[in-house]
Structure 1
């Protein structure tokens, strides 16, 4: 490795590898450059010009109005015709174009142009809102790594990321995008992980640390060993989630979309019936009837209803993405807003997944540090989490480890080793062992009740003490659980751990219900029971054994930082930074999105009913109908965008 480093110059920039895109411009600038918005503005300018020239040249005025119709209505007419001929259905676009042309046919050129302008403006605003809402998620795709500098015996070569295999070594120069998931084998740097975890501050990384594809290297050069093929990286999974999220709409939106075609047909039939029957039954003149019909066609169209849901949902998804919470679709945001219970896995979710030594208790005959040194020396070669915890404890207390001879496993119990010529054994505690001193038995029982895993320590055939270990609760778990309680949500723990440990962790974290000693299929069973009792149930987990429960829950949330691939694949939502406090925060955001959606639907429906009734009872001018209907559409879109703040 050192030889390779010496022969490889490192430049501050590389023309071959992808680099981060330019800083995002202000939203207003993007809005003004948006194609649909430009067409809408030009249409509005032409409308005003046609109105201004009306008193000077009627022909020029009409030409300007026709241009306003063509520029403002082209894209909407195209969408409407595609729906008509490809899907054999009507939509709101054709209704609006028909209303504008109808207004022009009876001499109301300005009103028709105004309808086209405001309709194009609201459509452009909704389209921009959708793009803006997904921008924080979709920007990830722009950072997709395509090339990598592979290091081998022949030196350095530029290869496609897809050609990298597990175990290959790649060089990442300063300021470049890391091309693969891997382990740092040489070098150190501060890594910008915002694309993966949502962290705003770069994270210092050094030898042995994990790095992720799609994150940005800082000032130091890194040699990274590939640990995952290109299609299996966390970044690739995130992109797959983004693509799925862009294509999946919430249930309310799907219902409205299905309703739109039926509603549009009903409006057309009613309009035709009004034109044909009103002169016969109500003795209206043909021109008066046609004008009333055009007003009805405008005010009855479901533009505002169609725009009531997605801007709010997409805004909430975008805001979540900025904080490291990724959704696989808008439907999951909708379901999350109705959550009544949240179930958690224990190890790696509520707890850190790394046990620590909570107590080492020895009999009067032995020195505590000597016993700790013997235990750590015997466990030093093991990679078991409990063994590593004992070694860490010895290192923290400055204990010097010795070599272990004749190390052997005692199946079903523990290990045995010779330390300095003395036999030491560490293994499973049995409080019913008659040889166990009463002082150790009492202490063992107390520690077990507190949720500790307790092992006994023997020197030869004599008991020297006991050592207790326990996985510790994540610092944010208590806060996260309390926030859920404040929202009226029931919290549940589903764990395969034994009941004593589970109860102790649950008490510390503040969990309401505990189910322990569970196999993966048992977790699915309890999720089903919780759904019957509470309706919408959320499951939060990180391991392979949590995958069935994540899939069975109304919404499955996986821990993205340390979660297994299986958990990430089946989950509906991923916490990229493993911050449990985001669970309550995201549920709160989903609830706000639900409230805003309901506000929009009620407001849009009320405006439509008010305008329809006013048209037949009192009579309203076409310009007022246009402003009222399209204005309500713009208002519901802007109301949904409030969540972006």
Structure 2
């Protein structure tokens, strides 16, 4: 291991940022993938050309219009026919193609071409919204490390990331992408973790710190010990989460999709009925009836309704991803907008999960620092979080540790060790301990009522004192609870910790209700009861014991930075940077998205109804119907895209 301090050897570099040529190729491929935009713009250009040529040669103009129809309507016609053949259902694509062909059949070539052009353009815009929602993940995938430089007995060797195993030692040069999750064993650097946590400022890393695959090393060399195989890295999990999100559809969109099939059949039936019955019942001429029917077919098509939901939801998901909040699907963004109650786990969620000593109380006749030294010496042999907190307290107060011997764990209570020839025991303080002196018992009750976890200190068989420890609130906890309250959302805390501790932490954070002493199944029962009473419930947690409650909630949010794999798997939303403030901010964004969806639906329905009534009462020209209908579609898409700002 000493060799790694002698500088960074000149070996083939591991995973680097894509070079400019790769980026240019990626951009070209990206443009080719957006064939909807190319075809839509090409269709519009041909439409204008045909209109200009029309004054010279009608025959040539018609041929150019046919080309415009084919270029702009090919993808829509293909999709509509696939729906008709495979699902035996009509959709808006076939309606629009039928309306355009109907317009052409009565000589309105330009209006039909305009309909095709604007319909294709609106579809391209919706694809753009989808692309923007996936932009963060596509950029992340482009940074996926492929190789690593492994340090072994036979020197340094470039290997595939998939071949790495836990315990391998890697070297990561300045400017390279870290190829695997691991621990820094030597060196120091600032690492840009924006791809994982959303943090814009690089984080200093030194010996013992965790680093993540897919993050960018800064100015220093790092020697990293692999702690996770390639498929188990946080990076790989993020990709899997977002890829899953692409296949999830909001309930509102599923409703619109179901409505589309029924609505399309009604419009086709109404158009056919109008063509067949109007001349007989109303005495309209054939040409007048067919024209009215074509206008009706155009203005009644549900394009704007169909485009009201997904652009807004996808834009909101993209904005969240840029801030380190990943959704597994648009359905969860939709549900989050209806949140009535947010339930929090305590340890590691509202609190930092790192207990600190809040008080050391010793009985009369004992020296406080001597007692602290003995406790810390005994606890120094333990890896328990409470033990580490006691050792850290001793270090803060400058207490020198002594040699501890014969340390052993007392199951269900605490530890025992020999320090300076005396037996010291530190363990759970019980309020029903009848032998405890009255002074210690009174202090124990007070400390416990304040939310402390209290340990009893004994020397041989003598009661020496009490040491109180408490998990500290996250710095953002009070702010996020306050923000949720301002939004009219109630808050609940569910924890396996003692009820007294739960209530004390809830008071400090401002949480409305707290429930303690809960097993995982108890948390699930509370979530179910809350859902029955209030409707949409969000659960925020980080541990294995939170996984059942996360799954039972309407929307489960997991703390991605320190959360367990089980919590990440079952959660619907992942806070990659563990920033609690993003809970309230994300709920607010989801509400904005739902508000925009409602605006779009009301606007789209209003425009369709107005145009239908206008067609039969006042009379609307086909060009005006095309502009009104397709213009409303473009407006609802643009209204959804404004969440990308």
**What is the match of residue 395 of structure 2?**
395
**What is the match of residue 70 of structure 2?**
70
Q: Residues 570-581 of structure 1 correspond to what in structure 2 (within 5 A)?
A: 570-581=570-581
**What is the match of residue 547 of structure 2?**
547
Q: Residues 410-489 of structure 1 correspond to what in structure 2 (within 5 A)?
A: 410-489=410-489
Q: Residues 250-399 of structure 1 correspond to what in structure 2 (within 5 A)?
A: 250-399=250-399
Deviation at 1:190? 1.1
Flag the 1:481–1:160 CA change in 2: closer, same or farther, 3 A. same
Deviation at 1:515? 1.3
Gaps of 5+ in 2: none
**What is the match of residue 162 of structure 1?**
162
- Counterpart-to-counterpart distance in 1, 2:256 and 2:135: 25
- Counterpart-to-counterpart distance in 1, 2:85 and 2:413: 74
Contact in 2 for aligned 1:31/1:128 (Cα 8 Å):
no
The DSSP-based 3-state class of the residue aligned with 2:231 is helix
- Counterpart-to-counterpart distance in 2, 1:108 and 1:616: 19
TM-score, L = length of structure 2:
0.95
Pick which of 384-393 and 71-80 moved more.
71-80
The DSSP-based 3-state class of the residue aligned with 1:475 is coil
- Counterpart-to-counterpart distance in 2, 1:297 and 1:46: 24
The DSSP-based 3-state class of the residue aligned with 1:265 is helix
Root mean square deviation, CA, Å = 2.1
The DSSP-based 3-state class of the residue aligned with 2:216 is coil
**What is the match of residue 526 of structure 1?**
526
TM-score, L = length of structure 1:
0.95
Deviation at 1:426? 2.1
- Counterpart-to-counterpart distance in 2, 1:46 and 1:465: 89
- Counterpart-to-counterpart distance in 1, 2:290 and 2:160: 65
**What is the match of residue 172 of structure 1?**
172
Contact in 2 for aligned 1:53/1:60 (Cα 8 Å):
yes
Contact in 1 for aligned 2:381/2:407 (Cα 8 Å):
no
Contact in 2 for aligned 1:308/1:636 (Cα 8 Å):
yes
Residues 399-457 of structure 1 deviation map (CA, whole Å, 9 limit, x = unaligned): 11111123333444333333233333322223444543333222222111111111222
**What is the match of residue 236 of structure 1?**
236
Gaps of 5+ in 1: none
- Counterpart-to-counterpart distance in 2, 1:640 and 1:173: 43
Deviation at 1:8? 5.4
Contact in 2 for aligned 1:20/1:176 (Cα 8 Å):
no
- Counterpart-to-counterpart distance in 2, 1:566 and 1:345: 15
Deviation at 1:387? 0.6
**What is the match of residue 108 of structure 1?**
108
Contact in 2 for aligned 1:187/1:206 (Cα 8 Å):
yes
Contact in 1 for aligned 2:5/2:186 (Cα 8 Å):
no
The DSSP-based 3-state class of the residue aligned with 2:406 is strand
Deviation at 1:593? 0.7
- Counterpart-to-counterpart distance in 1, 2:599 and 2:31: 25
Contact in 1 for aligned 2:376/2:390 (Cα 8 Å):
yes
Contact in 2 for aligned 1:18/1:146 (Cα 8 Å):
no
Deviation at 1:306? 0.4
Deviation at 1:637? 0.3
Q: Residues 199-210 of structure 1 correspond to what in structure 2 (within 5 A)?
A: 199-210=199-210
- Counterpart-to-counterpart distance in 2, 1:242 and 1:416: 49
- Counterpart-to-counterpart distance in 2, 1:176 and 1:133: 27
Contact in 2 for aligned 1:20/1:177 (Cα 8 Å):
no
- Counterpart-to-counterpart distance in 2, 1:157 and 1:263: 63
**What is the match of residue 19 of structure 1?**
17
- Counterpart-to-counterpart distance in 1, 2:500 and 2:640: 47
Deviation at 1:132? 1.5
Deviation at 1:569? 0.4
**What is the match of residue 224 of structure 2?**
224
Residues 276-329 of structure 1 deviation map (CA, whole Å, 9 limit, x = unaligned): 222222222211111111111111111000000000101111111111111000
Contact in 1 for aligned 2:16/2:175 (Cα 8 Å):
no
- Counterpart-to-counterpart distance in 2, 1:32 and 1:433: 76
Aligned length: 641
